[in-house]
Amino acid sequence: MKKIVLLFSTVLFIGGNLFAQKNDSLVIRNFSDDILVNGKAYENLRYLCKKIGARLSGSANAQKAVEATARMLKEAGADTVYLQPCMVPHWVRGEKEQAIIQTGNTKRALKVCALGMSVGTPAAGIKASIIEVKNYDELKSLGAEKVKGKIVFFNYAMRPELVEGGYGDAVKYRTSGPVEAAKLGAVGVMIRSVTHALDYNPHTGTTRYNDSVKKIPAIACSTMDAEWLQALLQKEKNVQFFMKMNCRQLPDVQSYNVIGEIKGSEKPAEIITMGGHLDSWDLAEGAHDDGTGIVQAIEALRAIKASGIQPKRTIRAVMFMNEENGLRGGHAYADFAASHNEHHIFAIESDEGGFGVKSLGIGGTPAQQEKLRSWLPLFTPYGIYGMPADGGGADIGPLRVLGTVMSSINPESQRYFDLHHAPNDVFEAVNKRELELGAVAMTAIVYLVSEYGL
């Protein structure tokens, strides 16, 4: 008799689950129809990119973006919209950099940009012999004797055979190249831009100093210039490099995360966070990095409100400030959560570009992952077939210590580093429907977690 009862309840459970999934699939279809037909994500992105533009932390534009997205969240129907304060670094590029290669009397200007957070050169610039290394092993084998007084050119190309990990592999020369070179007495650093693309766009991005090592100026050149210089250095011995950079660090500035919230109807204390980062580098419009994540989170909030569904748990769309050069917003958000004993059950970030979504990254315990994956059939009509265990994002990362389940929108990634931190990261590089379908995915997963918990 026990066995029969068990069977019966199993059937009921499966039946209930099927019914729920059918209903959820209709709810998600409704979100999708609304976003694809009436969506505001694309126009909001146009505003961020074209009316505001670059939004580096501490800049006037970053503040404009705070105000604009607060307005967008209100228009999207958030129950409450508020600003969460954080102090942010204020690095400025100053007048456009110069970089000139000189061999004998022949000079050639390179397409360059200062690395973010770099110190500037003296006002007159610096001039020194340039020495190429492919990697840290080559640098170390040269030793202080050959590096001292020189400008080190880290010419490490992103490894093409790495399907996805090429950026993580190559970026160490940008983040710590200046420290490693300065340890051996170098006076400046130039890195090959971290991108697979062969073009004339220099890519910026943060570099990090170590207070116990002299801070030397660091610049990135375009990959085409790197290829040219590599060929030159193979035939010429005494190549001089002049670099002039006007960047500097100003005092920290008051800034904000922007938060729009829908209060949960049944379990308001359980909080779900969805977001991206509001700041961008200063060279472009920050379209894919990360305007798209911002407008997708606003759109998800709008679609949930527009559906008339009152979510059971609290949902927040968070525009994090200062991901690029400090992560102050991400830390402020998690610090507030910890100090106020907030219960953050789930956080999802979209910060890998607004391209077509391939999968949803997920985290959590095996049981939580199993629950999340049980919803995968609801995503296949939108071209999402996988939920790999790689959920997370820089801004939501600090929540991890609170036990929050981490998730991410994982888009097609191959085009991303062609424009990442570079002047071609513009509105025109975003496809309206790819962007919108990312918002659909975000809306759907947040809705499901709100409905069923984790």
In the bound state with a copy of itself, the residue whose beta carbon lies nearer, of 179 and 419, is: 419
Mapping DSSP to helix (H, G, I), strand (E, B) and coil, where does residue 151 land? strand
Answer for which of 75, 390, 412, 451 binds a copy of itself (CB under 8 A) is 412
Nearer residue to a copy of itself within complex by CB, 356 or 453:
356
Residue 454 · residue 405 · CB < 8 Å: yes
Closest CA to 449 of 406, 402, 398, 399: 406
Among candidate residues 117, 182, 102, 419, the one with its CA nearest the CA of residue 292: 419
Check binding of 355 to a copy of itself (CB under 8 A): yes
Are 126 and 217 a contacting pair, CB within 8 Å? yes
Q: Is 434 in the site for a copy of itself (CB under 8 A)?
A: yes
Q: Which of 180, 285, 323, 436 is catalytic?
A: 323
Select from 4, 5, 124, 163 the one that contacts a copy of itself (CB under 8 A).
163
Q: How far apart are CA 315 and CA 453, in angstroms?
A: 12
For the bound state, the minimum distance from the C-beta of residue 409 to a copy of itself, rounded and expressed in Å, comes to 14
Would you count residue 433 as binding a copy of itself (CB under 8 A)? yes
- Min separation Cβ 435 and a copy of itself, Å: 9
The smaller minimum CB distance to a copy of itself, of residues 8 and 385, is found at 385
Q: Which of 386, 394, 451, 452 binds a copy of itself (CB under 8 A)?
A: 386
By beta-carbon proximity to a copy of itself, the closer residue of 37 and 123 is 37
x/- binding map, residues 274-313, to a copy of itself, per CB under 8 A?
----------------------------------------
Single out the segment in contact with a copy of itself by CB under 8 A; choices: 157-165, 253-261, 279-287, 333-341. Answer: 157-165
CB closer to a copy of itself out of 33 and 79 = 33
* Binding status of residue 95 toward a copy of itself by CB under 8 A: no
Residue identified by tokens 């991303």 is 416
Task: Tell me which of 24, 27, 28, 32 binds a copy of itself, using CB under 8 A.
Answer: 32
Contact 292, 346 (CB under 8 A): no
Q: Does 37 bind a copy of itself (CB under 8 A)?
A: yes
CB atoms inside a 10 Å sphere around CB 60: 10
Interface mask (CB under 8 A) for a copy of itself, residues 105-144, using x and -?
----------------------------------------
Cα separation, 46 vs 330, whole angstroms: 25
Rounded Cα distance, 325 and 115, in Å: 11
Q: Which strands sit side by side in the sheet containing 112-114, from one edge to the other? A: 106-109, 98-103, 240-244, 126-133, 151-154, 188-192, 218-221, 112-114
186, 216 in Cβ contact below 8 A? yes
Amino acid at 328: R
Residue 271, strand partner residues: 314, 344
Residue 437 as a binder of a copy of itself (CB under 8 A): the answer is yes
383 binds a copy of itself (CB under 8 A): yes
323 among known catalytic residues: yes
- β 112-114/218-221 pair status: antiparallel
Residue 134 has a CB neighbour count (10 Å cut-off) of 15
Q: Active-site positions?
A: 323
User: Which residues contact a copy of itself by CB under 8 A?
Assistant: 32-33, 36-37, 160-161, 163-164, 196, 355-356, 358-359, 380-383, 385-386, 388, 412-415, 418, 431-434, 437
